[in-house]
Structure 1
Amino acid sequence: MQAAIPPSPSSQGWSRAFQDLPREHGFEPLRVEGTIPAELRGTLYRNGPSLFSSFGESYRHWFDGDGAVSAVRLEGGKAEGAVRLVQTQELVAERAAGRRLYANYCMPHPGSLLGRIGQMRSKNVANTSVMVWNDRLFALYEAGIPVELSMEDLSTIGETTFDGLLSAAFSAHPHRIPSRRASYNFGMRFGRHTLLDLFELRDDGGARRIASLPLPGPTLLHDFIATERHLIFFVSPVRLRVMRQLLGVGTVGENFVWRPELGTEVLVVPLDEPERPFRFQVDPFFQWHFANAFEQGESIVVDLVRYPDFETNLWLGDRVRGGSGREARGTFHRAIVDPRRSVLRMEERWSESCEFPRVAPSATGKPYRFAWLGAHAPGSRRDLYDQLARLDVESGEARRVELPAGHYPSEPIFVHKAGSAAEDDGWILTLVYDARAHQSHLAILDSKRLDDGPIARAYFDHHVPFTFHGGWLGAK
């Protein structure tokens, strides 16, 4: 654990992004500066924690916040925006009761110690990402069931189990494999044994569980990555202290502990034989997110943001309290996995602090060159990500996009220009929080003219709390 350093002065600006969403609304016109390309037609959906207290009690971690989905719809050079809280069953019940009823990631169950015993279930805050599948929109949270939303105005329709397919959680990070015309995802079931359920959601609307695999223990598994033939998981040595959780001692976030002596398990699942995975142990590391992966002979290339340990959990919790002395320590790495020989080789490709990696849709699951990331400017690792970066994953050279002071971008989303599949020929979309104006806007950048900065901005008349993940749905 590194020594604490006083918060930087700039943290006082971005910390206002963690104030509650001031109002909800359906689609309404947004003020536009610059020129939105006429060919850019579709909707950007984003999801993130947007309530940071419950009945006068402040949440303790970024992950605790109740989710809100925002959307910016572009058509004919104009922009409309909408944002609404996801009305989960738990949020509705709490508001009806006028008090907090459930445990969150770092919020204890509000009942007596005796009443907490046996309480493993936390609130579904639906705050992490979105998925559009079968012309339906869902808010996702890895410890809960998907919540369907109206694509017309983002109002909540309700939880879905996909006709009984889901019995427990469904991760917030599904990955589509275009050649298989299907998306894949996972969920975890905690019990006497921890099980990893693997799901296939076909483009034609069919859904099924393709395997249930044992995990080495009750762990935290946030994301995975897919190639045309494999699903790849890096199971870090984070373990839940189940007995403490069952006895009501501590919270889920507090009861996840780093056990480096256990190592990280590499789990490679062949999609044609999902019940026969390759699995082996390597030295410990942690990751939240993957950038991309592809086949290379008998090996698999996997790109990710790697952390040396689980202290990132504390850094994330500090965001809702305006920062701390901890620094973000995730950097971009390339792993070469040889599943048949049980070998993993890893090297750092960019040493700067970064997160939320994305690639162009045409590059998914294939050899590629560019990753798009949120990044820290030098010396700002204790704050929110304040830059975007385009990383050449082959050379390790990065091109930074410097935004005006006090502007904090979200995960960059790449949208191809009409008729082009080149991974550096498109638009970069990011939802930006402007700390000075206490306001949020969609920024649109030309991927070939990054030095020009945003070519257009579409402004909400209020701030949208900083979002985690989202996606683009092009107009039909």
Structure 2
Amino acid sequence: MHSIFVRNGQETPEPVKAQVTGCIPSWLQGTLLRNGPGLFSVGDTEYNHWFDGMSLIHSFTFTNGEVTYRSKFLKSETYKRNMKADRIVVTEFGTMSYPDPCKNIFSRVFTHLCNIIPDFTDNNLISIIRYGRDYYASSEINYINQVDPATLETVGRVNYRNHIALNLATAHPHYDKQGNTYNMGSAVIGLAPPKYMIFKVPADASDKDGKKPALRKVQQVCSIPFRSSLFPSYFHSFGMTKNYIVFVEQPFKLDIVRLATAYFRGINWGSCLRFDKNDMTWFHVINKTTGAAVSTRYYGDSLVVFHHINAYEEDNHLVFDLICYKDSGLYNMFYIDFMRQDENSLEQVQKNFPLPVSQRFVLPLNVDKKSPPGSNLVTLTDTTAEAVMQENGSVYCKPDILFEGLELPGINYDFNATKYRYFYGSKVEWSTFPNKIAKFDIATRTHVEWHQESCYPSEPVFVRSPEAVEEDDGVILSSVVSPEPSISPFMLVLNAKTLKEIGRATIPVNVHMDLHGLFIPATA
């Protein structure tokens, strides 16, 4: 794998002006914040996994057809502790850190037995979340770090547990038309009974003086009990429609006992996730207003899901689209030793890993318990998805296969929770990192692509044009890096209808590959 993906990134603390070729639309005004791992070694110590690298936050600011870039490391407590020690001293998901090696074995064991359930890192490297008018670097832990979107300075750390009884929370919330933020977390350990939880942060939650976190106004929407207290389902995102929350309880599970004894066993947290190919996937549908679950039990075959694409209601059906895998092998592709293999070896091994598949599930909302077993309850005509009545009253769901090879999906977010036609994503072709951008048309089942040799684009972000009439009126933004010295990093601007390039902004400093982000309009 090209070294650009695992080398340490660099800060660009002051804005630098990019060189624009083509045309950046004058209506495109705002800042695209991006987040991802950017520091993979400290002193003589190295992280084991790409998802462990310390957060490097990027901003691309669009003003009157011009683009400026800056980046800063998130100044989390994890970052500060590692820098002070000049070594990795805080455990991450794939890298276990032990106390000072000068301590004897008895001291080390005693330290960890006193802290069986570890306090997680606050290295928020996955995405950017808005709560009220505040912006936070986020990952899947109980901490988030507020950042200033203009300067990228780290404002301060917030602990979910000080405001709501959660151990973990996702980095992929939903925003409704009123500006409220919905997110999902879980009460895993030390909180009884264990449960998954949906919560809401109102649009007006921010403190006018900026001294109190928006989370102080957090509200619980509903909770879902674990099917197994010792093996809760892993989740990275969830679905939301106008009236419902969709939670996919997949057979990709966290082994709580293994997690609790990870230090003592000398294993990393990543190894505490297990995929049970013989288990079912359960689909929970919860009314957003009442917090009550739909009584019908929906289930499907085993799968692994990280990203939801969209969800909506139509003619008493709930439709939701997922990026699915047949097993949990994806995580192993990002171990840094694996990524450092030569290109030929890497390509051969990667062909054994499953490609992501975009799948559509359709759940009938008003199930007649008298329906004959074996009957398909889906009456929508534009999908082959099925919901088959079972003798015990449960419903077995078979997906409609939309597209293969697409990850990091995005849509015109104006169509979130409503019926939509298009989604965008990074196209994966036997590579750890995507090398194409694709747009998929659900109605015609066709797609178009953008590709440039030796270029690796980040997650595509849709920004609607101010005079938009159609769903795909707007642009796609993606930061692009290349291992070729002759190709400088650039911000790519595509016509969202055609995926034809309309402009690019070449950046005169190093830019690191990232994960997720958020576009903040200039008027926000």
Q: TM-score, normalised by structure 2?
A: 0.82
Aligned amino acid, residue 201 of structure 1: V
Deviations 1:310-350 (A, max 9, x none): 11111233587236312351111111123554432312111
- Structure-2 residue corresponding to 1:359: 411
- Structure-1 residue corresponding to 2:379: none
CA distance change for structure 1 residues 218 and 56 in 2, over 3 Å: closer, same or farther? farther
Q: 2: distance between equivalents of 1:18 and 1:107?
A: 15
Aligned amino acid, residue 368 of structure 1: Y
Q: 1: distance between equivalents of 2:154 and 2:110?
A: 34
1:132-147 pair list within 5 angstroms: 132-147=130-145
Deviations 1:53-91 (A, max 9, x none): 233222122211111111111011111111111111122
Q: Which fold has the larger relative contact order, with Cα–Cα distance below 8 Å and residues 6 or more apart in sequence? A: 1
Within the alignment, does 1:153 sit opposite 2:148 as a pair?
no
Q: Following TM superposition, by how much is the alpha carbon of 1:114 offset from its aligned partner in structure 2, in angstroms?
A: 4.9
Aligned amino acid, residue 272 of structure 1: T
Within the alignment, does 1:395 sit opposite 2:444 as a pair?
yes
CA distance change for structure 1 residues 201 and 358 in 2, over 3 Å: closer, same or farther? same
Q: Following TM superposition, by how much is the alpha carbon of 1:227 offset from its aligned partner in structure 2, in angstroms?
A: 0.5
CA distance change for structure 1 residues 154 and 300 in 2, over 3 Å: closer, same or farther? same
- Structure-2 residue corresponding to 1:233: 247
- Structure-1 residue corresponding to 2:278: 261
* Candidates 89, 92, 97, aligned match of 2:77: 89
- Structure-1 residue corresponding to 2:112: 116
How many residues are aligned here?
A: 456
1:175-324 pair list within 5 angstroms: 175-178=174-177, 181-191=179-189, 194-205=194-205, 206-216=217-227, 217-247=231-261, 248=263, 249=265, 250-278=267-295, 279-317=297-335, 321-322=339-340, 324=346
Q: Does structure 1 retain, via aligned residues, the 8 Å contact 2:169–2:186?
A: yes
- Structure-1 residue corresponding to 2:210: none
Deviations 1:412-446 (A, max 9, x none): 11111121142221111001112213742211011
Within the alignment, does 1:374 sit opposite 2:426 as a pair?
yes
Q: Following TM superposition, by how much is the alpha carbon of 1:457 offset from its aligned partner in structure 2, in angstroms?
A: 1.6
Deviations 1:174-227 (A, max 9, x none): 11121x542210112212653212111222225322233322233321111111
CA distance change for structure 1 residues 115 and 421 in 2, over 3 Å: closer, same or farther? farther
Q: 1: distance between equivalents of 2:159 and 2:123?
A: 16
Q: Does structure 2 retain, via aligned residues, the 8 Å contact 1:26–1:154?
A: no
Q: Following TM superposition, by how much is the alpha carbon of 1:30 offset from its aligned partner in structure 2, in angstroms?
A: 2.1
- Structure-2 residue corresponding to 1:332: 358
Q: Following TM superposition, by how much is the alpha carbon of 1:252 offset from its aligned partner in structure 2, in angstroms?
A: 1.0
Q: Does structure 2 retain, via aligned residues, the 8 Å contact 1:337–1:345?
A: no
CA distance change for structure 1 residues 84 and 104 in 2, over 3 Å: closer, same or farther? same
Deviations 1:33-58 (A, max 9, x none): 22211111111111111111233222
- Structure-2 residue corresponding to 1:53: 41
Q: 2: distance between equivalents of 1:121 and 1:163?
A: 11
SS of aligned partner of 1:337: strand
CA distance change for structure 1 residues 169 and 439 in 2, over 3 Å: closer, same or farther? farther
Q: Does structure 2 retain, via aligned residues, the 8 Å contact 1:362–1:422?
A: no
Within the alignment, does 1:80 sit opposite 2:76 as a pair?
no
Q: 1: distance between equivalents of 2:164 and 2:364?
A: 32
RMSD, aligned α-carbons: 2.2
CA distance change for structure 1 residues 163 and 107 in 2, over 3 Å: closer, same or farther? closer
- Structure-1 residue corresponding to 2:56: 68
Aligned amino acid, residue 464 of structure 1: V
Aligned amino acid, residue 169 of structure 2: F
CA distance change for structure 1 residues 441 and 145 in 2, over 3 Å: closer, same or farther? same
SS of aligned partner of 2:201: strand
CA distance change for structure 1 residues 56 and 275 in 2, over 3 Å: closer, same or farther? farther
Q: 2: distance between equivalents of 1:103 and 1:367?
A: 42
Structure 1, 434-443 or 29-38: larger mean CA deviation: 434-443
Q: Following TM superposition, by how much is the alpha carbon of 1:282 offset from its aligned partner in structure 2, in angstroms?
A: 2.6
Q: 1: distance between equivalents of 2:356 and 2:133?
A: 35
Q: Does structure 2 retain, via aligned residues, the 8 Å contact 1:100–1:110?
A: no
Q: 1: distance between equivalents of 2:521 and 2:81?
A: 35
- Structure-1 residue corresponding to 2:209: none
CA distance change for structure 1 residues 243 and 361 in 2, over 3 Å: closer, same or farther? closer
Q: Does structure 2 retain, via aligned residues, the 8 Å contact 1:302–1:336?
A: yes
- Structure-1 residue corresponding to 2:460: 412
Q: TM-score, normalised by structure 1?
A: 0.90
- Structure-1 residue corresponding to 2:388: none
SS of aligned partner of 2:509: coil
Deviations 1:141-181 (A, max 9, x none): 11232210112210101112479424433310011121x54
Q: 1: distance between equivalents of 2:412 and 2:440?
A: 12
SS of aligned partner of 2:489: strand
Aligned amino acid, residue 170 of structure 1: A
Q: Which consecutive residues of structure 1, in runs of 5 or more, have no partner in the other structure?
A: 1-10
SS of aligned partner of 2:335: helix
Aligned amino acid, residue 348 of structure 1: I
Aligned amino acid, residue 358 of structure 2: F
Deviations 1:292-318 (A, max 9, x none): 111012221111111111111112335
* Candidates 21, 36, 55, aligned match of 2:24: 36
Q: Does structure 2 retain, via aligned residues, the 8 Å contact 1:17–1:433?
A: no
Aligned amino acid, residue 302 of structure 1: F
Q: 2: distance between equivalents of 1:163 and 1:76?
A: 42
Q: 1: distance between equivalents of 2:235 and 2:516?
A: 16
Identity of aligned residues (%): 21
Aligned amino acid, residue 255 of structure 2: R
